[in-house]
Chains A and B, each alone.
Chain A
């Protein structure tokens, strides 16, 4: 299982990478952590003629909070996030949860958040998280740099808004206020397997205890990560209660349209989506000191 031959181009900056992609865009793929791309190449599911390696592009290796936004550059590793100082603040609890369950601890030392978004696997963890946290992706194209909402970015299975010759530079997560908490709930057969089902949840409360903002998204529940708009609508403006959480879970179950495989039947996975969404909501609330 050796990949098909390709031309290798090393980029030392985002500019250099972009220039390579402009020249060879139709045949080229960006190599960041490679933890999805290289296995795909080994199985010959991917046969790019050119790889543009951005691992030496220092200007894409950032992880910083700047002007109310957490900026994660294209080669910041999952393990950088897991070990970041600020990660223990409860407002980042969704991101902290997910950073501990993506793939396995060794894979996370290479794997990148932006790479995972660009790969857009239906069972991805970061795609689902980015939906719940309402992230945006910075994409560089011919006419300059644009910011794309994650909902528009995730087009279909393994397909994103990044077109030929373009590249994703970073993902931006808005810094949540201090009455925010989240949760990532994932069921997997073993460490490193794709999710059987997973739910990402993020809640912000008003001072009076009602829900100000809600993000609910599912993994392994369709062609790519899905937002459960019905659950978000149910939650916003309401005081959290057991009935409300049950209703939101049921909405998640209805929204889930998984495929049957060795991990479980459609019926099982749909049920699981609802259970995990409800569990995530309860945990997020408990992190905010609210028991329901």
Chain B
């Protein structure tokens, strides 16, 4: 079947089998390998992308066909040219990663969380990220990174960042 998905602002129109999962569509059809596949069964959150600007979804548990006609934001779409997105900068500054495998999913879950909830407290951040697993560092610096990003994003005029 023919699907057309807008990924990071660019349209990708491809012929796919209906059983093609969105994560594999992004990685193999669009060549955007920043979306990672961890557990493959919706448990780990490595594959999280943002759909239509607001909803964090696990792209391993969704068919590409379901994204037909929708907007998808992946980690490749966060930076603005050479400038890191405040969430990326915060993960850098706060050492919010070690191996980096979970990082794209963590950041996109957090981006969607802050869009809905610009000033979360620590418990709300931890709860919001509880569907994303990190197997290296523990979560302390990830939480700090999201707090930093929240502070930065609140200072910026609406619409200035994705």
Contacts and interface: CB of A to CB of B under 8 A. Distances in A.
A-B complex is real:
yes
B41 A106 contact: no
B127 A34 contact: no
Interface stretch (A1-9, A173-181, A227-235): A1-9
Given A55-B66, A104-B130, 17 more contacts: A1-B41, A8-B18, A8-B65, A34-B61, A34-B66, A35-B61, A51-B18, A51-B63, A104-B45, A105-B129, A105-B131, A106-B56, A106-B109, A109-B57, A109-B112, A110-B61, A191-B131
Interface string B48-63: 1000000111100111
Contact of B65 (A1, A4, A53, A103): A53
B130 to A, nearest CB: 4
Interface bin, chain B? 20 to 34
Interface of B: 1, 17-19, 21, 40-43, 45, 48, 55-58, 61-63, 65-66, 68, 109, 112, 116, 127-132
Interface of A: 1-8, 10, 31, 34-35, 38-39, 41-43, 51, 53, 55, 79, 83, 103-107, 109-110, 191-192
B57 A2 contact: no
Contacts of B128: 105
B130 A105 contact: yes
Contact of A38 (B63, B68, B112, B130): B63
A5 B62 contact: no
Contact of A1 (B1, B40, B116, B130): B40
A113 B145 CA distance: 33
Contacts of B48: 106
A103 B130 CA distance: 10
Contacts of A191: 130-131
Nearest to B50: A109
Which of B18, B45, B65 has its CB near the most chain A CB atoms (within 10 A)?
B18
Given A5-B18, A39-B61, A51-B18, A106 B40 contact: no
A106 B57 CA distance: 6
A53 B65 CA distance: 9
Contacts of B55: 79, 109-110
Given A35-B42, A42-B40, A106 B132 contact: yes
A264 B61 CA distance: 28
B65 A107 contact: no
Contacts of B40: 1, 42
A34 B62 contact: yes
Given A1-B40, A3-B19, A5-B17, A103 B62 contact: no
Contacts of A103: 42, 131
Which of A7, A103, A192 has its CB near the most chain B CB atoms (within 10 A)?
A192
Nearest to A2: B19
